[in-house]
């Protein structure tokens, strides 16, 4: 497979970083995004990113990729403390046993996580993705997001918030639907979100061979988890280019 570009703090357990060179490389190609040292200052916003699972599987043919039964829309990739200059804090409490991932803490919401925040790569196990997201990003979020005080709340609140914004429904109302043949421009996705939700999103595309696939859509929230416009610097570094001809693959 040819080179693919990924946006954001990418990972389904950092192995995604190499999958397409990687569908989910480093948190960035959001420009020159550079991870900040542990215990950074307060971040500017929360970036909640949802992936289009059909693209994930199409772009990772070297992996066993499975979309959970009943999943018809976008799935959560991550909930990331972020800065408008495209930097981001990570592993803020990596030396503290208190912030190590504990599956027991999320047992009561695990069935929901499997559907809304799944690890699509079967061989990695369902919890490896959650462990990565919590220890890299969640332990930073709990320092400044009032509703996210612990591991359980980080996952539960992210699912609650993202569930309010059905991205597929918003896109389809604007005439942007998954299709085996129809293609779109970046502006089609952006304008649909602006029209439906009233805010500017961040879009991520992945390239392989002659195709450009819609990979992810990110929504920005303040630290009280109120939906806001994504900063122009963040949007400007998005990996969906203005002139891209984008495939939005349907469910098989």
Tokens, residue 63 = 């992996």
CB-neighbour burial class of residue 137 (10 A; exposed 0-12, middle 13-18, buried 19+): buried
**Using CA atoms, how far apart are residues 151 and 141, in angstroms rounded to an integer?**
10
Strands 75-82 and 45-51: antiparallel
Please compute, for residue 68, the number of CA atoms within 13 A of its CA located in the half-sphere on the CB side.
Answer: 17
- Determine which one of 132, 133, 135, 151 is catalytic: 133
Strand 211-221 relative to strand 45-51: parallel, antiparallel, unpaired? antiparallel
Q: Of residues 135, 137, 151, 215, which has the active-site annotation?
A: 137
**Continuous segment of H or E residues that includes residue 51:** strand 45-51
152 classed as catalytic: no
Q: Give the pair of three-digit tokens for residue 97.
A: 């046993």
229 counts as catalytic: no
Which one is catalytic: 77, 132, 135, 215?
77
Phi, psi (deg, nearest 5) at residue 215: -105, -50
Phi, psi of 147, deg, nearest 5: -85, -10
Phi and psi of 119, rounded to 5°?
A: -90, 110
- Residue whose token pair is 């400044």: 144
Residue 23 and residue 4 in contact, taking contact as beta carbons nearer than 8 Å = yes
133 is catalytic: yes
Cβ atoms of residues 4 and 210 within 8 Å: no
**Catalytic residue list:** 77, 133, 137
């Amino acid at each position: 497979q040819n080179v693919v570009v990924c946006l954001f703090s990418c990972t389904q357990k950092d192995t995604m970083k190499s999958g397409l060179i990687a569908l989910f490389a480093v948190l960035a190609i959001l420009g020159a995004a550079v991870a900040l040292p542990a215990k950074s200052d307060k971040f500017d916003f929360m970036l909640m990113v949802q992936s289009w699972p059909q693209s994930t599987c199409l772009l990772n043919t070297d992996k066993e990729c499975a979309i959970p039964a009943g999943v018809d829309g976008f799935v959560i990739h991550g909930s990331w403390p972020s800065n408008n200059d495209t930097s981001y804090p990570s592993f803020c409490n990596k030396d503290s046993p208190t912030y190590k991932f504990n599956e027991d803490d999320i047992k009561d919401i695990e069935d929901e996580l499997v559907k809304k925040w799944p690890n699509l790569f079967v061989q990695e196990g369902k919890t490896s993705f959650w462990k990565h997201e919590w220890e890299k990003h969640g332990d930073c979020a709990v320092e400044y997001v009032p509703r996210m005080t612990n591991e359980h709340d980080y996952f539960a609140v992210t699912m609650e918030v993202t569930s309010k914004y059905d991205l597929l429904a918003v896109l389809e109302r604007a005439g942007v639907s998954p299709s085996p043949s129809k293609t779109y421009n970046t502006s089609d996705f952006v304008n649909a979100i602006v029209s439906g939700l009233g805010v500017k999103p961040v879009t991520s595309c992945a390239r392989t061979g002659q195709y450009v696939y819609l990979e992810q859509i990110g929504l920005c929230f303040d630290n009280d988890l109120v939906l806001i416009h994504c900063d122009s610097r963040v949007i400007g570094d998005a990996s969906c280019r203005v002139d891209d001809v984008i495939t939005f693959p349907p469910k098989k």
